[in-house]
Homo-oligomer: A and B are copies of this chain.
Amino acid sequence: MTYELFYWDEIPGRGEFVRLALEEAGADYVDVVRGSEAQGRGISAMFEIMQSQTAPFIPFAPPFLRDGELVIAHVANILFYLAPRLGLAPKEEGLRFSANGLQLTIADLVAEIHDCHHPISVELYYEDQMDAARARAQSFLQHRLSKFLTYFERILRQNPAGPAFCVGSSLSYVDLSVFHFIEGLRYSFPKAMEKQEPAIPHLIALHDAVARRPHIKSYLASGRRLSFNEAGIFRYYPELDLN
């Protein structure tokens, strides 16, 4: 069965956390919105599900995944569902809840990163909320960024199975998500990250190890990988970075 991923085209965004798991596993999937309308794909296929006036449990927002009849929304929920099927979940039940808790902390980090450029309203352009964005980004870089990064560094350092992976002794989807938020933070806040990185050696080692994995490496070099840009969650506005 082909997994169908629904997410906005042209940005890696939150969909990327799901793509990385599917790519690492070599799973059979389609990025529906990036397909052609002629084949029943494209953006209208996504809106058809979201706007249905009859379907049960319609998603509030993308990304969502369709697996046969089942439609699953929210990154952490999709990954919790997919990971055992893709061989990317810890074996032990308790560790699966630890992994899910970490993934939800990543979701919170991503929301805070988004709100650095949109602190007032998602209905307004960045340019219409720049003063508030500067204040929010400044507070994020001063207080929150190191709090999140050193937290994940501790997670690695205190993993009873060793610091190579977040949970257990083999790769899980959480490790792929760590790779992606490090990539995104380097894109959005290069100066701030340059200052942070010496304090998080295990996180950087994990990031580098993920980048070297054969499936991830070939995915990153492919056309399926979208670049960061100023329409997504991770945006580069020099005025929001450290000066």
Contact = CB atoms under 8 A, between A and B. Distances in A.
B73 A101 contact: yes
A104 B158 CA distance: 28
A167 B73 contact: no
Interface string A1-45: 000000000000000000000000000000000000000000000
Contact of A155 (B58, B70, B158, B159): B58
A54 B97 contact: no
Contact of A158 (B56, B69, B72): B56
A105 interface: yes
Interface of A: 52-61, 64, 69-70, 72-74, 76-77, 80-81, 94, 97-98, 100-102, 104-105, 108, 111, 115, 119-124, 129, 132, 135-136, 139, 142-143, 148, 151, 154-155, 158-160, 167
25 contacts: A54-B158, A55-B158, A56-B160, A57-B98, A57-B101, A58-B158, A59-B101, A60-B151, A61-B105, A69-B94, A72-B101, A74-B104, A76-B76, A77-B101, A77-B104, A80-B97, A111-B111, A115-B115, A119-B119, A119-B120, A120-B136, A120-B139, A121-B143, A124-B139, A129-B135
